[in-house]
């Protein structure tokens, strides 16, 4: 679920819009369950590779992220394959791609 009990769709679409307004291209790659779908981020660093992060919670219930590939960057093809496998396992999953050379996660939260 998302912060402040917003539906996933509102929370995600608001952040995508904000990112685009801030000059960070963002695209919804896969729409999941509008109310309770969790989120997978693909952050494309436009050269060095991509980071893929899965939404989770820390021990205190705060938003956190699990990094795919042991936190190592992966090429765009490998990231795409990872995303496809994740969506096959969980069709309610939302997938958002950001293009940011700095690799910032606009949703915030700690990477575990």
pLDDT tens digits, residue range 60-92?
999 999 999 999 999 999 999 999 999 999 999
Structure confidence by residue, pLDDT tens digits, 34-62: 999 999 999 999 999 999 999 999 999 99
What integer pLDDT is reported at residue 73 of this predicted model? 97
Residues 92-112 have a mean pLDDT of 95
Strand blocks (E) in the chain: 26-30, 39-44, 50-57, 63-67, 94-99, 110-111
The pLDDT value given to residue 6:
75
The per-residue pLDDT for 1 is 43
């Amino acid at each position: 679920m998302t912060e402040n009990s917003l539906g996933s769709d509102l929370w995600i679409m608001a952040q995508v819009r904000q990112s685009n307004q801030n000059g960070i291209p963002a695209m919804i790659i896969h729409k999941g369950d509008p109310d309770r779908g969790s989120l997978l981020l693909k952050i494309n660093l436009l050269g060095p590779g991509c980071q893929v992060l899965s939404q989770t919670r820390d021990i205190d219930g705060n938003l956190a992220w699990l990094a795919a590939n042991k936190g190592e960057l992966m090429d765009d093809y490998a990231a795409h394959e990872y995303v496809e496998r994740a969506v096959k396992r969980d069709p309610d999953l939302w997938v958002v791609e950001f293009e940011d050379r700095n690799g910032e996660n606009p949703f915030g939260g700690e990477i575990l």
